[in-house]
Amino acid sequence: MPRPRRAVAAAPDLSTRQRLLAAAAGEFAARGFAGASIDRIAAAAGLNKAMIYYHFASKKDLYGEILRDMFAAVSVRVKAAAASDRPPDEKVRQFVVAIATEAEARPHFPPIWFREIAEGGAHLDAETLRHVASVVGALRHIIEDGVRAGRFKPVNVFLVHAGIVGPLLLHFVASGALRKRLQKAGVPVAENTRDEVLEHIFGVALATLEGRTS
């Protein structure tokens, strides 16, 4: 049911804008920034490409908005995990769940993240970089709290971060087209449920932090 009347005249049409953002996310995920086509994005949104330049300043700006949304969402959820009053191991679990939840909410997230890593973060603007930084920062706080509580060893943040994010993104990305391709090549791809994978990754991170991995 449509709202009976527009509240204010100036408000931009969110529906069109978000259709463009959704179509763009799919295109950037499938082909990368340089390979994505403004024409294809517009067509996928059922619109004309002139509409993209009506709503966004440039292809780079459009891509930047998608990146900002992704990392802002992760940042918020991860900081909430770090700020919770649960014990250290539960915070680590929440950290893993935070990344998984936002990745699942955006199918384009894992592939775009992978590509952005491959490009050395070339398209991350200052604000997005702060969000990325705050994700690592939140994990560092979780570890430091655990160390203070006598539960964790002071393991390097980047090793823990890579041990969580690497396998997690790999799982989500490999659940798609790559899985089918590998199956056709004779690789017996196992059926891990989402919860099994999360529990495994959490268990590995906890073992690392509790000093059971060396």
- Computed on alpha carbons and rounded to an integer, the radius of gyration of the chain in Å comes to 20
The reply to whether 192 sits near DNA by the rule CB under 7 A is: no
Q: Which residues bind a copy of itself (CB under 8 A)?
A: 29-36, 110-112, 114-115, 117-122, 124, 126, 129-130, 132-133, 136-137, 156-159, 162-163, 165-171, 173-174, 176-178, 181-182, 184-187, 189-190, 192, 197, 199-201, 203-204, 206-208, 212-214
- The residue (of 94 and 208) whose beta carbon lies closer to a copy of itself is 208
3-class DSSP assignment, residue 83 = helix
Q: Smallest gap, in angstroms, from Cβ of residue 6 to DNA?
A: 10
For the CB of residue 114, give the shortest distance to DNA in the complex, in Å: 20
Verify binding: residue 141, DNA, rule CB under 7 A. no
- For 34, how many CA atoms within 13 A lie in the half-sphere containing its CB? 5
Residue 59 binds DNA, judged by CB under 7 A: yes
Closest C-alpha among 63, 154, 50, 185 to residue 115 = 63
Interface residues with DNA (CB under 7 A) are: 11-13, 16, 36-40, 47-51, 53-54, 58-60
